[in-house]
Amino acid sequence: MTERVIFHIDVNSAFLSWEAVYGMKERGDIVDLREAPSIIGGDEATRHGIVLAASMPAKRLGIRTAETIREALVKCPNLIIKPPMRPLYEKYSKAFVKEALEYSNVYEQFSIDEIFLDMTGKIELGKTPVETAYKLKDQIQNKLGFTVNIGISSNKLLAKMASDFEKPNRVHTLFLDEIREKMWPLKVGDLFSVGKSTGKKLEVLGIHTIGDLAQMDLKLLQSHIGKKHGRRIHQFANGIDDSKVESRGDINKGYGHSITLSRDISNENEAGVVLLSLVEKVAARLRRDQVKGDCVVVELRDKDFHRYTHQRKLDVPTDITDEIMKTARELFLECYKGTPVRLLGVRVTGISKEEYSQMGLFDNEKKEKLRKLDASLDRIRQRYGNDSIQRGSIFLQSGKEE
Ligand SMILES: [Mg+2]
């Protein structure tokens, strides 16, 4: 088997860079936001909301992603605050993916500003992977005005770890024979898929670096972290990852569920119950696959098979039942014309892998509570079956999963 060549391309401070490039190109800004203390974050007027991205000068003043704007303003009273602009990000995201696709058509988009590119067999004759990565990196910068880091390895995990080394505008390799020197000295919490709570458990066990984890006894690790997750992070620490670069089609299809009702529904409350059962199923599948979506679509058909769909983008990707339900209910009320409903469907699209999602980095307390509730309901369903807490089951005739 020939060794694979995988690139992980990661836009440096994506939201901030994109806002800066847009500002200078389209709005005539004189200040480059990347060179001033600036952030992308929620509502400036009310001073609420959270820092989604911070410039290097802002970071130097101690401003961190996920802290509140109020806290950030204490550290820098004349901080420049720009609101998030999702459509803009999508435009620049598409633009850099397009450049990458000139190099390989086998790619996987993990988040709005990160993709994997399978470069196996695609390196130009006489060129090295590093030279090819430099060319792509410079091409993106010259054409689009923002910088990326590219990590190179023989698998996705190591490529992803490599792109996270020194930033910005850099190319790094992390091949298997380099992990001892380049990855093992890093803090265990820096390993992809070691979250905060796992990190804490490992610290208590005296596991401080990725190298410590790699050399830990697997059985002992599993007894503390769980069998599946224990094995996964043990393999990762040893640089092992066989997962394929999956094409974008798989991830963008979305998660949907629809139901043909055994009798027509013509009241909002009944429809709400059915809608909730659909949302619960869709959200549970998102969580099972550890992905989130940022667009909710509601479809309904009346007894004459007229079809109505409405959709809405969310500010932040989610897998939380309550959040999806809130939007789904609003969308339903927008489509609902008062005629008896025969079919209802809910779909979540704009899927990104949870761990890679930049906007998913922050969580507030309310979200944490909702997440715990979802997790406990998921456990009950796993144990007692899907319909054990299916509130809308009396209406259901046939469900369709996509
Ligand atoms: Mg990035």
What is the model's pLDDT at position 34? Answer: 94
Among candidates 352, 365, 251, which has minimal Cα distance to 14? Answer: 352
- Residues of the chain short of pLDDT 50, as ranges, are 248-251, 355-362, 388, 390-400
| Residue at which a domain ends, from 30, 62, 85 | 85
Q: Tokens 């789904």 map to which residue?
A: 328
Q: Cα of 387 to ligand 1 centre, how many Å?
A: 40
230, 261: one domain: no
371, 322: one domain: yes
226, 325: one domain: no
Asked if the structure places residue 7 within a domain, the reply is: no
181 is catalytic: no
| Residue at which a domain ends, from 85, 103, 134 | 85
Length of the chain: 402
Q: Cα of 308 to ligand 1 centre, how many Å?
A: 37
| Residue at which a domain ends, from 64, 85, 106 | 85
pLDDT (tens digit per residue) in 176-218: 999 999 999 999 999 988 888 889 999 999 999 999 999 999 9
363: CATH:
3.30.1490.100
206: CATH:
1.10.150.20
Q: Cα of 20 to ligand 1 centre, how many Å?
A: 15
29: CATH:
3.40.1170.60
What is the model's pLDDT at position 333? Answer: 87
Asked if the structure places residue 128 within a domain, the reply is: no
What is the model's pLDDT at position 354? Answer: 54
What is the model's pLDDT at position 153? Answer: 98
| Ion ligand 1 — residues with CB < 5 Å | 10-11, 14, 113
* Domain extent at residue 343: 249-401
Asked if the structure places residue 112 within a domain, the reply is: no
In this structure, are strands 107-111 and 148-153 parallel, antiparallel, or unpaired?
unpaired
Q: Cα of 167 to ligand 1 centre, how many Å?
A: 10
Asked if the structure places residue 119 within a domain, the reply is: no
User: The pTM is what?
Assistant: 0.66
232, 348: one domain: no
The total number of structural domains that make up the chain: 3
323, 387: one domain: yes
Asked if the structure places residue 156 within a domain, the reply is: no
Q: What token pair was written down for 18?
A: 């994109």
263, 397: one domain: yes
- Burial environment of residue 335 by CB neighbours within 10 A (0 to 12, 13 to 18, 19 or more): middle
What is the model's pLDDT at position 229? Answer: 87
Q: Cα of 163 to ligand 1 centre, how many Å?
A: 9
pLDDT (tens digit per residue) in 341-386: 888 899 998 888 754 444 444 456 667 677 777 777 777 766 665 5
Asked if the structure places residue 8 within a domain, the reply is: no
Task: Specify the long-range contacts of residues 193-196, CB closer than 8 Å, at least 24 apart.
Answer: 193/232, 193/233, 193/236, 193/355, 194/233
231, 267: one domain: no
253, 386: one domain: yes
290, 227: one domain: no
Count Cβ atoms below 10 Å from residue 35 Cβ, excluding itself: 11
196, 286: one domain: no
202, 266: one domain: no
Q: Cα of 221 to ligand 1 centre, how many Å?
A: 31
Q: Cα of 31 to ligand 1 centre, how many Å?
A: 22
Asked if the structure places residue 104 within a domain, the reply is: no
201, 266: one domain: no
Asked if the structure places residue 148 within a domain, the reply is: no
Catalytic residue among 114, 280, 299, 323: 114
